[in-house]
A and B are shown apart, each in its own frame.
Chain A
Amino acid sequence: MLGPRALRSKLDRIRSRVDGRPAPTSRSVGDAVDRLEESVVRHLAGHEAESAAAARLTRAFDLIPQGIVLADASARVVFRNRAASGFVDARHGEALVEAAMSDLVALAVDGVSETRTIDLFGPPRRAIELRAGPLRADPDADDGQVVGAFLIVDDVSERQRVDAVRRDFVANISHELKTPVGALGVLAETLAGEDDPEVVARLADRMQLEAFRVARTIDDLLQLSQIESDVVGERAAVVVDDVIAAAVERTRTAAEVAGVQVVAPSVERDLLVLGDRMQLVSALSNLCENAIKYSEAGDQVQVLAERDGSWASITVADSGVGIPTRDLERIFERFYRVDRARSRDTGGTGLGLSIVRHVVQNHHGEITVRSREGSGSTFTVRVPLLDTPSEPSPEPLAASRRNP
């Protein structure tokens, strides 16, 4: 048993440990207990505030789309935010990211900062960037004692894609405009020194052709920029069947020349969307034109429309050469060409699908494509149906359409 004096000094010692500083001597055992209680309460309150702050920080870190990993000086991971936790016990391609993460953390605690990009082939293809570095006792000193490591995981796939789009766009537009203009220059030069009327006529023909090509590219560019800026244009109820009929009519000559049959069964008249009829016709004829262009003589192109929930879904399917998988996500970019040599022959401007995508976006719709090389492509445009409260009962109508 401790005497009161020893007990008092022991309580004081405990209090000094709780406070973390030398405690003034108490007067009696009772006083010592009271003071200790006070200290403990104060300490607990401080502790609660700290853990609340830590929880807030963790929640904030979890909202960051990048993964954040913190490790202690022995490379043991002490914190992962939500995005980074996704790579724990990962499998397949992500297991490689997980392995690279431990590598980089181990390097970082040795004082080495490193950035590594891991290309995952998936599918889907992704690029993951890992950036790691040491945490130092003195954050401003570059060679201070290492107390831990940080690592940031960033999915840079989208950024890389956008960069590629921007880079290629400038290169491609220069190419598309330079080629015919260059040809015009050469043709004009030859023409200047030519007397033979037959050759002159032929050269003039070629010049006209090249001039047409530049004009068409510029027309398409203008149309595209107009569609891009014209987010809310003249909107009216548009009958999908009319759009299809107009698009098929517009591409009739191309189809006849190519020997391709365009099959477009008529659609119920009450399949309506809200939009700009001209834009929709132009988008759909672009799709039909492509389908015809990449089909072989004797092939069929099918244009089908149907009600799909609250959407009007229009598909244009061909059985032509198809699109390589790696190009699928890029074909909607301006001037993107799957096969430069071949598509020049077909006389396109390289803007058709960009125009289509923008028209569809203007109509709050979406466009998707499925394709296999050698077995054709199917483009599907989905545009929200026009809400028609006057319509008695849309469900039975939709059902009766599917049944037969």
Chain B
Amino acid sequence: MTDVEPANENVRKNFHQTLEEIRQEMVQMAALVTEGIPRATETLLSGNLTEAQQIIDDDDPLDARAVELEETCYQVLALQQPMASDLRGIVTAIRMIAEIERSGDLVVNIAKGARRIFGTEIPARLRGLIGQMGDEATKLFKVSLDAYIDGDAALAAAIDDLDDRLDNIHRDYIQEIFRANHDGDLPVQVAVQLALIGRYYERIGDHAVNIGERVRYMVTGWLPEHTGAARDAARRAGEPPSGG
């Protein structure tokens, strides 16, 4: 990137081929996360230390690929000056890379949490809820990627509602942690770790929702902030000039 000359040849490649490569790389990076979520859940529930360490190590290549792909996107922006839907595609990619990379970190956090509570027995009901949160988070991430790959704005818009399910399970889960702790089945140290772990799943769901919003932007040009921006504009327009 520092030198334009050698990059040029690369850039001369068919522009749409580059876009397609970016898309493919993103699908593969996201696949690492969709596979990572159930893997981390299983590691957590089976208390497998070796696998937990493996998950933590496996995140480094994902980070490296994210950096590299982002570079590629900037290069395309700078050298090809894409317009309209192509531009939105690149901008979406740049934002999505961050969401995917961050979700990968949350998977790592789950593995780290599993390491911290190694050796303690998780009460059955909480195990069930962890399994459910894992399933829902995986499903959400898959749906957000399906929406991206198929350019399906309607599906992307539905992700927010799907996320409510994960949020509800998360709420039950926190309730159950309180109950188990109150009944003396759960030492407070473990309870705190478990609560954090629940939060990681819930955050993965939020990132899936963000990806959904990015996909809507890519397809339709709509952004959730637009609603807020419109409200803001309306408020200003309605305000008397004197203020107050």
Interface positions of A (Cβ within 8 A of B): 91-96, 98-99, 120-123, 321-322, 324-326, 372-375
Contact = CB atoms under 8 A, between A and B. Distances in A.
Given A121-B39, A326-B42, A374 B123 contact: yes
Contacts of A99: 28
Contacts of A373: 124-125, 127-128, 131
A346 to B, nearest CB: 15
Interface in B28-82: 28, 30-32, 34-35, 37-39, 42, 45-46
Nearest to A98: B28
B127 A93 contact: no
Interface of B: 24, 27-28, 30-32, 34-35, 37-39, 42, 45-46, 123-129, 131-132, 135, 138, 142, 145-146, 149
A372 B28 contact: no
- Residue among A94, A98, A373 with the most chain B CB within 10 A? A373
A374 B128 contact: yes
A123 B142 CA distance: 11
A374 B126 contact: yes
B42 A374 contact: no
A247 B38 CA distance: 38
Nearest to B150: A91
A324 B42 CA distance: 10
Nearest to A325: B131
Tell me the interface secondary structure of chain A in the complex: loop
A93 B31 contact: yes
B32 A374 contact: no
Contact of A93 (B34, B131, B132): B34
11 contacts: A91-B27, A91-B145, A92-B142, A92-B145, A93-B31, A95-B30, A95-B31, A96-B35, A324-B45, A372-B132, A373-B128
Lowest 9 A-B CB distances belong to which pairs?
Answer: A374-B125, A373-B128, A121-B38, A374-B124, A374-B128, A95-B31, A373-B127, A372-B128, A121-B39
A374 B28 CA distance: 35
Contacts of B149: 91
A324 B134 CA distance: 13
A353 B142 CA distance: 34
A326 B45 contact: yes
Given A92-B142, A123-B38, A373-B125, A324 B131 contact: yes
Contact of B31 (A96, A372, A375): A96
Nearest to A95: B31
Nearest to B138: A123
Contacts of A324: 45, 127, 131
Nearest to A374: B125
B46 A326 contact: yes
Contact of B128 (A92, A122, A375): A375
Contact of B129 (A123, A321, A374): A374
Given A120-B35, A123-B135, A326-B42, A95 B28 contact: yes
B35 A372 contact: no
A275 to B, nearest CB: 34
A209 B129 CA distance: 39
B128 to A, nearest CB: 4
A122 B141 CA distance: 12
B137 to A, nearest CB: 12
B125 A375 contact: yes
B47 to A, nearest CB: 12
A327 to B, nearest CB: 10
A121 B27 CA distance: 17
A92 B30 CA distance: 7
Contacts of B131: 324-325, 372-373
Contacts of B35: 92-93, 96, 120-121
A373 to B, nearest CB: 4
Contacts of A325: 131
Nearest to A376: B128
Nearest to B139: A123
A195 B29 CA distance: 73
Contacts of B124: 321-322, 373-374
Contacts of A96: 28, 31-32, 35
